[in-house]
Amino acid sequence: MHDIRSVRADPAAFDAAMVRRGLPPVAERLMTLDATARATQTKLQELQTRRNETAKLVGMAKRQGQDSTGLEAAGRAIAVEMAALEESLPQQQRSLRDILETLPNILDPDVPDGADESANVVLHQHGEPPRQNFAPKQHFEIGEALGLMDFAGAAKLAGARFTVLRGALARLERALGQWMLTLHTERHGYAETAVPYLVSAATMYGTGQLPKFEEDLFRTTDGRYLIPTAEVPLTNLVRDDIIVEAALPLRFAALSPCFRSEAGSAGRDTRGMLRQHQFQKVEMVSITRPQDSAAEHERMTECAERVLTELGLTWRRIVLCAGDTGFGAAKTYDLEVWLPGQGAWREISSCSTCRDFQGRRMNARMKPVEGKGNVFVHTLNGSGVAVGRALIAVLETHQQADGSVVLPEVLRPWMGGLERIVAA
């Protein structure tokens, strides 16, 4: 959410920020709606003063035995005019808010220009794609050959974009989630948090999923929404709060299922587990002072990178360009992992700083140690990482010529000491 005062202060800069996002200039329209609403508010205040003064005169006239008929008529006329304005003001304010709440965040200056993912910039790479002396298979080929990945059974139960895992692969999914959550809580300082998987519309609004992205969500019959990521409930823990500066940063982590309708993804990644309606993810969320959010963004991304390194994966960090940065983010790093079976880089984590964009929507503020006036907190979120995609990467990276999969050492304690997954 944007502050209309910042639009008034520099409409040209605001328009330039929206143009970077591929949107048309909108400041003039916003300021016109704002001016109309403010004029109505001013008129109401003036009428309120006149009504109070008129009421006093009526009282004085009656106490002095004078005719107050004219004054009373004037008071009624003022009341009628006020009622009309009181009805129109919320509509005017809503018209302004309807536009503001659908406009994306302003990008950080160092976000590269560009219309789509082709303009994203690789910042650094860890490792080189492995050279295998056999033709590597894709994860679904590996899983089906092991007899532990069942897409037909999932389709029978729920339709397309679901997966049933069995045996060692089901345990591997559990092990990955538990290990990553433990890593982030015990070594990276995040507080483990168990959150609701169903949330209110107000919660979805706070992090920017509503109203713009409702078609991407699953809604229940009682008006709640299945969470698309634990970012939503974790970030909203501070909604409407005033946090003392000394308590920041707050760092939360959760392992949760995520539910996404994948609207607009028809024909994309239809085979395998890459794009599912339901998947597990470890999510990291930070609530910081405004001056700390840039450094926290780097820290959070490094926490996600450590996961990939310890799993023995080849990965790279990318900064997303203007046209590929998400609605609520001011800057996003994507982590991509090399999948030998696909022979391609695929996203496995996104870490974003939202600056005060979500804080403003949630009315989440910080009480400074020095100075007057509360300020909106900055929020950040990052995948630490998507469990299903980590499972895919482990299968494809550590597959062997005989069809087995060697498990990374960090996972073996979570797998009961198992070193290799073989056919069931």
Rounded Cα–Cα distance for residues 306 and 43 (Å): 59
pLDDT at 11 over 90: yes
Task: Check if the beta carbon of residue 81 is closer than 8 Å to that of residue 50.
Answer: no
Q: Which residues pair with 255 in a beta bridge?
A: 282
CB-side neighbour CA atoms (13 Å) of 332: 23
Going from N- to C-terminal start, the domains of the chain cover 4-101, 117-421
The reply to whether domains 4-101 and 117-421 share a CATH topology is no
Tokens of 298: 């780097």
Once rounded to an integer, what is the mean pLDDT over residues 106-114?
A: 97
Annotated binding site for ATP, which residues? 260-262, 347-350
Residue 242 and residue 250: Cα distance in Å, rounded? Answer: 13
Instruction: Compute how many other C-beta atoms are within 10 angstroms of the C-beta atom of residue 210.
Output: 18
Other C-beta atoms within 10 Å of 211: how many? 12
CATH superfamily membership of 4-101: Serine-tRNA synthetase, tRNA binding domain (1.10.287.40)
pLDDT at 389 exceeding the cut of 90: yes
- Average pLDDT value for the chain: 96
Segments of 27-148 assigned E as strands: 121-126
How many Cβ atoms are within 10 Å of 83's Cβ, its own excluded?
Answer: 10
Question: Can you give the C-alpha Rg of the chain in angstroms?
Answer: 28
Task: Tell me how far apart the alpha carbons of residues 421 and 150 are, in angstroms, rounded to a whole number.
Answer: 16
Q: Given CA atoms 94, 99, 104, 110 in this order, what sign does their dihedral have?
A: negative
Confidence of residue 265 (pLDDT cuts 50, 70, 90): low
193 vs 184, 223, 228, 286, CA distance in Å? 12, 24, 16, 13
DSSP string, 257-304: EEE---TT-TTSS-SSSSS-SEEEEEEEEEEE-GGGHHHHHHHHHHHH
N-to-C CA span, the chain:
52
Q: How many CA atoms lie within 13 A of 61 on its CB side?
A: 13
The pLDDT of 1-5, averaged and rounded, is 93
Rounded Cα–Cα distance for residues 71 and 373 (Å):
43
pLDDT in tens, 127-162: 999 888 999 999 999 999 999 999 999 999 999 999
| Sequence letter at residue 275 | R
Half-sphere exposure of 165 (CA within 13 A, CB side): 20
Which residues are known to be catalytic? 260, 275, 347, 350, 389
Hunting for tokens 């290990």 — which residue is that?
179
**Percent of the chain with pLDDT strictly greater than 70:** 98
Distance, CA of 229 to CA of 257 (rounded, Å): 7
Distance of CA 129 to the CA centre of its chain: 31
Check pLDDT > 70 for residue 87.
Answer: yes
Instruction: State pTM to two decimals.
Output: 0.93
Give the mean model confidence (pLDDT) for residues 229-251. 98
> With 0-12 CB in 10 A as exposed, 13-18 as middle and 19+ as buried, what is 137?
middle
How is domain 117-421 classified at the architecture level of CATH?
A: 2-Layer Sandwich (3.30)
- What's the DSSP call for residue 343? T
pLDDT in tens, 343-353: 999 999 999 99
Residue 46 has a CB neighbour count (10 Å cut-off) of 12
Q: Which residues are annotated as a binding site for L-serine?
A: 229-231, 260, 283, 381, 383
